[in-house]
Amino acid sequence: MQGKIALEEHFAIEETLMDSAGFVPDSYWAELKHRLLDIHDTRLKLMDKHGLEMMLLSLNAPAVQAIPDIAKANEIAMRANDFLAEQVARNPGRFQALAALPMQDPDLASRELHRCVNELGFKGSLVNGFSQVTQAESAVYYDLPQYWSFWAEVEKLDAPFYLHPRNPLPSMSQIYEGHAWLMGPTWAFGQETAVHALRLMGSGLFDKHPGINIILGHMGEGLPYSMWRIDNRNGWVKAPPKYPAKRKIADYFRENFYLTTSGNFRTQTLIDAVLEIGADRILFSTDWPFENIDHASDWFDVASISENDRVKIGRTNAAKLFKLDL
């Protein structure tokens, strides 16, 4: 398929580059480093070769979210966003931007989102999970009351928010001790992000701000497969839910969330996601440079879905959600 739009596509600046060093063996680091720092050469050639018209670019992980010092987190976010704006300006027909945000401080995050959307022309934001605030071993999640003013700004700006994974902190990773292979994309990324998303759904946030759109990668971090059970466990017990939200979790999942195909190139999983959330809420992505553009495109272009859904997922859903001028 020609004209695909991809939106979980990462880059790095020098200050955040080493955050990605541990995700591949040392022998692959030179290649990953090149991929992260390159925007207008190898990346663009691969886009041309595999039918990608546009990438929405975002900072690598955990980057800003792993900087406990609030002022430093804000500084790095602004520096990354200014750099990204310069890169997009060189070729806006092929690249657009998602903002990095200093979520350590909701007011600073709101201010930076407003700057990026209204002054730099960004299409939304991508945040790498929880933030470490003041102390390295803190993990602050965005369902907490202090973030609701930020979410009001997200709704007001109509700026989609991509909730991207990061690993749990070492002090919160006892279940993985002795099993380091489960960290990262294999399992821990998805589990961490799914719980964060469920916290947002159960908090009542979307009752107050129903216009918020949140994006999850990797075909929904396992949530589509579990959505029925989340709402129907012990169905014979007639008791109200224990969360503050007014509706079933699946209602918020289907009305306030979008999913991407990033790093999860399997047709059975795609079909399950379509059945659960609908083809109108699924978006093509590759997860470059951590996954290959050809792997994503070669799979998606022949996946056993209707051509109408292929065009929606590959292009038109993203164009509509991000208001892209194509």
φ, ψ (nearest 5 deg) of residue 58? -150, 155
Q: Give CA–CA dist 93/287, Å, rounded.
A: 20
Would you state the pLDDT for residue 155?
Answer: 98
0.95 exceeded by pTM = yes
Query: By the 8 A CB rule, do 126 and 91 touch?
Result: no
Q: What is the pLDDT of residues 36-78, one digit of tens each?
A: 999 999 999 999 999 999 999 999 999 999 999 999 999 999 9
Would you state the pLDDT for residue 235?
Answer: 86
Query: By the 8 A CB rule, do 218 and 260 touch?
Result: yes
Q: Give CA–CA dist 242/236, Å, rounded.
A: 16
Would you state the pLDDT for residue 299?
Answer: 98
Would you state the pLDDT for residue 204?
Answer: 98
Q: What residues in the chain have per-residue pLDDT under 50?
A: none
Q: Rounded to the nearest 5 degrees, what angle is found at the Cα of 318, between the Cα atoms of 313 and 320? A: 115
Q: CB neighbours (10 Å) of residue 233?
A: 8
Query: By the 8 A CB rule, do 293 and 47 touch?
Result: yes
SS3 287: coil
DSSP letter for each residue of 224-241? HHHHHHHHHTTTTS----
Query: By the 8 A CB rule, do 79 and 109 touch?
Result: no
Going from the N-terminus, what domains does the chain have, and what CATH number goes with each? 4-321 (3.20.20.140)
Residue with tokens 């001028």: 325
For residue 215, the Cα-to-chain-centroid distance in whole angstroms is: 6
Catalytic residue among 26, 287, 294, 298: 287
Residue with tokens 């979790």: 249
Give yes or no: 309 in active site: no
Would you state the pLDDT for residue 326?
Answer: 87
For residue 21, the Cα-to-chain-centroid distance in whole angstroms is: 20
Would you state the pLDDT for residue 298?
Answer: 98
Written as six digits, the tokens of 113 are 């989102």
Written as six digits, the tokens of 266 are 């399997």
